[in-house]
Amino acid sequence: MTSAAPLTGIFPVAPTPFHADGDLDLAGNARVMDCMVDQGVDGICVLANYSEQFALTDAERDAVMTSSLERVAGRVPVIVTCSHYATAIAAERGRRAAAGGASMLMLMPPYHGTGLRADENLMVEHFARVADAAKLPIMVQDAPLSGVPLSVSFLVRLAREVPLVRYFKIEVPQAAAKLRALIAAGGDAIEGPWDGEEAITLMADLDAGARGTMTSALLPDLIKPIVTAHLGGDRKTAAALYAKCLPLINYENRQCGLRAAKAVMMAGGVIGSDAVRHPFEPLHPATRAGLLEIAEELQPLALRWGK
């Protein structure tokens, strides 16, 4: 299921809201979906690492996926993350996502901890079985969290041997260099070279040929014009807009991590609590104040949506 018009633009990761007591907040999740659609996003990714997917039970994962897909209701494409070490479980997650209306899957390579991983032949088989189960395009998440090095030559092999593997979110050090090499080596097999990591390397990655970005849900309404301008050939405007956003992007990436979008969405009335599950810690009050000070200057929609 490759498309004549590849998905491009901004597809932020949706945070998973919890009540203050740590219970899953599905009503809040519906509001997050509505806010993100109103942010003008080109699509939404759910159950990613920035969604705290690793802190959810299997039943909660299903609930979040179903709630998200039903609430979005086709207004924008939804990417569902289905990563798991066990191929059968990842494949079943992919099948269920496809049945629920997902447009794409995102997968990390199979890994567990720092030492349990598959060799390249088994990784190809892993992705192939998930693709066969879901019949949806797949985005490979190439991120340090897995501890699995994915060489350019392997990613090109994967794209050529598993045709549904067409998208690649590159968020490793020197991401722009890897994107440039991947595009050069893979040609048409690399349908969707994408940027990640909260857009901290966005301009360099767009210069290298990235066609999409997966940020957090903190400020996609402010990042989208950067991507639109750059893809439209107006790099000067893109660079000027990026310079304005960079203090908030940097503060999120270096000080807050996945807690930033939640903190701003709570301040903006999107969700009732910015709780994270232990062993994550809540933001220090001084860090939260610093984040909101910068956000107030830029006024992203997430800070205004529920007021």
What is the model's pLDDT at position 115? 87
Find the mean pLDDT for residues 9-20: 98
Q: Does the pLDDT value for residue 173 go beyond 50? A: yes
Q: Amino acid identity of 80?
A: V
Contact 181, 175 (CB under 8 A): no
229-254: per-residue pLDDT in tens? 999 999 999 999 999 999 999 999 99
Q: What is the pLDDT of residues 252-289, one digit of tens each?
A: 999 999 999 999 999 999 999 999 999 999 999 999 99
Q: How many whole angstroms from its chain centre is CA 276?
A: 18
Set 169, 178, 224, 262: catalytic member = 169
Alpha helices in 170-219 (DSSP H): 175-186, 202-208
Output the pLDDT for position 287: 98
Q: How far is CA 116 from CA 130, 144, 147, 263, in A?
A: 20, 15, 10, 34
CA dihedral 149, 54, 7, 10 (to 10 degrees): -100
Asked if 169 is an active-site residue, the reply is yes
Q: State the residue for tokens 């200057």.
A: 297
* Residues contacting residue 236 through CB under 8 Å, at least 6 positions apart: none
Residue 2 has pLDDT above 50, yes or no: no
**Res. 5: pLDDT tops 90:** no
**Percentage of the chain exceeding pLDDT 90:** 97
Segment 181-190 mean pLDDT: 98
Burial class (CB in 10 A: 0-12, 13-18, 19+), 17: buried
Give me the chain's average pLDDT, please: 97
pLDDT for res 4: 60
Instruction: From 184, 299, 227, 238, select the one nearest 42 (Cα to Cα).
Output: 227
How many angstroms separate the CA atoms of 187 and 161, rounded?
14
